[in-house]
Amino acid sequence: MSTALLLVLGLSFTSCRDTKKAEDSIEEAVEATEEAVEEAADAIEDAVDDAGDAIEEAGDDAGEAIDEAADAAGEAVDKAAESATQKVKEATGGN
């Protein structure tokens, strides 16, 4: 009977150690998952910031292009008006 008692106690201690190892493994897996989620969240935040910066820069570039096109169109209209005025003066003899 004492042999049976020793065998049961031995199995209990072995079982407790195995349970502790399993708990440690689960805890490590949870911590690793939490770290991975935090890193993913940081990466997403960085990507959103980068996208926002790119959109802002594209908007600025588009605004500058529109301003330049408007200036060029204005200059073309001014030159056309000057040319037309000159042609009228030439055709009317300078009046």
Structural domain that includes position 29: 1-95
Q: Convert the pLDDT of each residue in 3-53 to its tens digit.
A: 665 566 565 555 555 566 777 788 888 889 999 999 999 999 999 999 999
Looking at the structure of the chain, the number of domains it has is 1
16-20: long-range contacts (C-beta < 8 A, 24 or more apart)? none
Residue 65 pLDDT: 93
pTM of the complete model: 0.51
Phi–psi pair at 94, nearest 5 degrees: 90, 10
DSSP assignment of 6-46 equals HHHHHHHHHHHHHHHHHHHHHHHHHHHHHHHHHHHHHHHHH
pLDDT at 64 over 90: yes
